Chain A
Amino acid sequence: MKKILSLGLVRGLLWQIAGTAAGALLVTGIRALMGLNPWGSFLFTEPAWVVGALTGVIAFVWGVGALTDWFKWALGEETPEHREDPPGWEKYFGVSLDHKVIGIQYTVTAILLLLVGGLFALIFRLELAASGMQFISLQLYNTLMSLHGMVMIVGILLGVAGVMNYLVPMLIGAHDMAFPRLNAFSYWIAPPAAIVLLSSLALGGFDTGWTGYPPLSTRSPVGIQMFFVGVWVSGWSSILGGLNLIATVMRLSAKGMTAFRMPILAWASVATSLISLTATQLIGLSFQLVMFQRLLGMGFFDPAKGGNPILFQHLFWFYSHPVVYVFILPGLGVVSELLPVFVRKPLFGYRWVAMSSLGIALVGFLVWAHHMFTSGMNEYLRVPFMYSTLLVAVPTGVKFFSWVATLWKGKIETPTPMLFVLGAIVVFLMGGLSGPPNGVVTTDLHLHDTYFVVGHFHDTMFGGYIFPFFAAIYYWFPKATGRRMSEKLGKLHFWLLFPSFLVMTFLMMRVGLLGMRRRIADYDPALGLDFWHLLITISAFLIAASVLVFLYNFFRSIKHGEPAPGNIWRSRSPEWQVPSPMPVHNYEEAFEVVGEPYDYGLPGSTYIRFNGKSH
């Protein structure tokens, strides 16, 4: 019991409960004093819940200990530069300053959230297996569907942070991130945010979809406020994480690692971080404005008070479009990083691939209004946004062509990570090809808000993020544990997932074209879509089965995997030149970059040389 209470996570959770109660009671007390109704339909009133949620988050971060060192500094106390973590599993449940521990914390939290989001999807997919309402209510359907979206998004954001946190310092030869305490803070703000987000289920849910468009979101139950607060808080994690990563790559990379000798994943991570550092504010702001409209009666988006509902959509998509590139750029970086290893050939057109990530990130800022072609915004705006949207296809195409050219005349081997890399390319290709019809205004008038879009972006998310995420886990698992995951189970995972996923998204696009709208709890049997929907549901459950195989493999291999202490993939990358698991401060000796990262097939070449100096 005492041991459990000493875990940072447990203390944080207890503090969060106390903090929420304190904040909510404070508002309730003030309301009582002012003569306002102190109690609401979910015990507290809406303002009390919002303030409580915020104080709860602050209390969590304080309780877990993520602020301790800063407070000590403020009081003039010294803290050690490197804090030693306790050995064993406990370090993962408390504040650690080691980027590898934080990376694993992010990754495991991400997997948990993705599982929750996936579970929501399974519930409503079961409902959608046939027309008519089977076993959940309309409101519950809407809540689960909306939460599926946002929980998956937060899960992917944390997963992205996990991949970047764990790998980037290692790849560039740093011993940690530039700001280790800020790094810990960025992680520890996320779990309470996720809890707040999920608590919306208990507070009446919400029926707006993850987009939360007003005026609908101004009429939803209190649950929507928890959704807003949860997203608002987790945005801090993205912003600060992005800042930290850019500083790390700029300042801490190894001697000789010039821009065009960086691993491609570092390029992708910088591009991603530029977006999360500068765009996340907009979704926080747009949700905050609706929050204020609800709490304080400010009519930002209320036409009756001179507001404009379309303005919200501009603010919202100014972040929410670029953020899809936050999801996919690191994933595409993983694909480019692993391909040369398993093809035994240099990455074709390294510089072009590196610049295409930046290109996508920058053009991605100019396309947001393509989500609004039917919204009723100024009509003439649709044409320039069509041009800018289709432009994204150019740097994306560069990536595809470069990957195919890398495969050409290689000596290809296909262990599990490579299977997922190839799966990512094919699935992302499906996502990429189904994109332009949404980008051309004429066809989007038909496709917008249908299952065609649902199929399209699930392809981009899985191809651009989930498949590469799995590839990265299979590939770098030995770096974290010294053991490798089972190949047999890994291949089973892939062959269950890949075909079912392609079938699922292809059928989603098909029913969308035939008239299936997005975000509906029930569909018209007259459309004749029942059979396709049944197949989609079956595919979804096969995907879930493949994930169970993965989870079993993952947790079993931590202790019982085949030992893999050395460079099992014959990689040139620095992290594989030292034994696994990775030592606490990464490299005992600093290294110097003396060659190109992906010069496979060039006899006698090497990427790095350890120079004998310690860090």
Chain B
Amino acid sequence: MRHFVIVGVLVLLLSILTFWGLEAMGLMPVQASLQAQTVDWMFRLEMAVISFLFALIVVPLVYSLLVFRRKPGDTSDGEHIEGNTRLEVTWTVLPLITVLVFSYLGAVTLGETRRLDPNAMVVNVTAFQWGWRFEYPDYGIQSNKLYLPANRQVVLKMNSNDVIHSFWVPEFRIKQDVVPGRTTEYRITPVQIGEYKVRCAEICGASHAYMVAPVVVVSQTDFQKWVQESVAAQAATSGPDPKRGEKLYNELGCKACHSIDGSKGVGPTWKGLWGEQVKLSDGTTVVADEAYIIESIRQPQAKIVAGFEQQAMPAFTTLTDAELADLIAFIQTLK
């Protein structure tokens, strides 16, 4: 009986100490979204139970090692205890109830993180090797930074141009894969103003580590200001501009497959492409003019360059005419 009392007290002490230690260490990054609060609440509950279970096993284990050690020269056996059915049933049923409760709480909190606000702002996200691009359909803005107003839910509609990526902002806690051929959805309500980063969490090739884009959470007024400035900047542009084309080349992920220095890539190089005779896989040739390049961007499978039959380029159907003109202007400079 004495043993049980000592172990019981020690288990209690160690549970509290472990939980307190983990809390004091600061396990999670900044809590920057409404959903993060739900996730952290659940996580904290899990940590409490884990601390208790940790103590429940480790204390009697270490205690037995110290107290029930074999004395030197003692070759006799321990007590012949084969088992105890009541005890076995207890430690089967109690954990069973615990995991059912946790599954239930998990489902409830999951629902909480997925709660949809009808006034949510929609942002279209395109993921590609290796970058992110954000489009605000309400305002007609394209950006490589994700600007978000605080305290308003945003729904990200996400597509991938090539392989599977995953949208993760550690400070928001939530993670969602971005899968080619389908649209996945990510609901978040930022609450903490600050600069964060979206980090691709699903391995997506060589530069996976660097597939990062800034996420800026600003106040509602600052957000409106940013919208007005961006719209104005886009309206002020006149005529095709190779500088903007180059920016698109980098941001859209063209550079992952198409080189601009003539080196061989997954797709044909852009160096010297403009006005060239291009050999197609069906044996015919075509002149690389405006119509051909636009078609190759919008419907890449329409004409395939000889030697590149293996790779299917994704269709970039969302680009505006102005953006296409910028890209062509950029290609024209690559002599």
Binding site for B on A (CB under 8 A): 138-139, 142, 207-209, 213, 215-216, 219, 302-304, 308-310, 343-346, 348-352, 374-376, 379, 382-383, 386-387, 390-391, 393-394, 397-398, 400-402, 404-405, 407-414, 422, 425-426, 429, 433-434, 436-437, 440-443, 445-446, 448-450, 510, 513-515, 517-524, 570, 596, 599-602
B270, chain A: closest CB distance, angstroms:
20
Q: Which of B68, B202, B203 contacts A411 (CB 8 A)?
A: B68
User: What B residues does A394 contact at CB under 8 A?
Assistant: 92, 95-96, 99
Q: Which residue of A has the minimal Cβ distance to B98?
A: A393
A–B Cβ pairs within 8 angstroms, 6 of them: A209-B203, A310-B179, A411-B68, A413-B70, A449-B166, A599-B80
How big is the B interface, by class? 35 or more
Tell me whether B181 is interfacial, beta carbon within 8 Å.
yes
The answer on a CB contact under 8 Å between B83 and A348 is yes
User: What B residues does A348 contact at CB under 8 A?
Assistant: 81-84
A542, chain B: closest CB distance, angstroms:
22
A215 and B164 contact, Cβ closer than 8 Å, known pairs A208-B203, A375-B179, A448-B175 = yes
Q: Which residue of A has the minimal Cβ distance to B183?
A: A376
Binding site for A on B (CB under 8 A): 3, 25, 27-29, 38-39, 42-43, 46, 50, 53-54, 57-58, 60-61, 64-65, 68-70, 74-84, 87-88, 91-92, 95-96, 99-100, 102-103, 105-107, 109-110, 112-114, 162-164, 166, 168, 170, 173-182, 184, 197, 199-210, 212, 266, 301, 311-312
Q: Which residue of B has the minimal Cβ distance to A400?
A: B57
CA distance A351 to B107 in the complex (A): 34
CA distance A448 to B181 in the complex (A): 22
Q: Which residue of B has the minimal Cβ distance to A310?
A: B179
B128, chain A: closest CB distance, angstroms:
12
CA distance A469 to B248 in the complex (A): 55
Task: Determine which residue in B50, B65, B175 has the highest number of CB atoms from chain A within 10 A of its CB, and name it.
Answer: B175
User: What A residues does B209 contact at CB under 8 A?
Assistant: 138, 517, 520-523
User: What A residues does B162 contact at CB under 8 A?
Assistant: 215, 219
CA distance A522 to B210 in the complex (A): 8
Q: Which of A208, A209, A374, A379 contacts B166 (CB 8 A)?
A: A374
The answer on a CB contact under 8 Å between B81 and A429 is no
The answer on a CB contact under 8 Å between B184 and A442 is no
The answer on a CB contact under 8 Å between A216 and B203 is yes
A550, chain B: closest CB distance, angstroms:
23
CA distance A215 to B204 in the complex (A): 9
The answer on a CB contact under 8 Å between B68 and A429 is no
CA distance A219 to B42 in the complex (A): 39
The answer on a CB contact under 8 Å between B78 and A345 is yes
B225, chain A: closest CB distance, angstroms:
26
A442 and B207 contact, Cβ closer than 8 Å, known pairs A408-B64, A412-B68, A599-B80 = no
User: What A residues does B84 contact at CB under 8 A?
Assistant: 348-349, 405
The answer on a CB contact under 8 Å between B77 and A411 is yes
The answer on a CB contact under 8 Å between B65 and A219 is no
CA distance A195 to B197 in the complex (A): 41
Q: Which residue of B has the minimal Cβ distance to A513?
A: B27
User: What A residues does B210 contact at CB under 8 A?
Assistant: 522
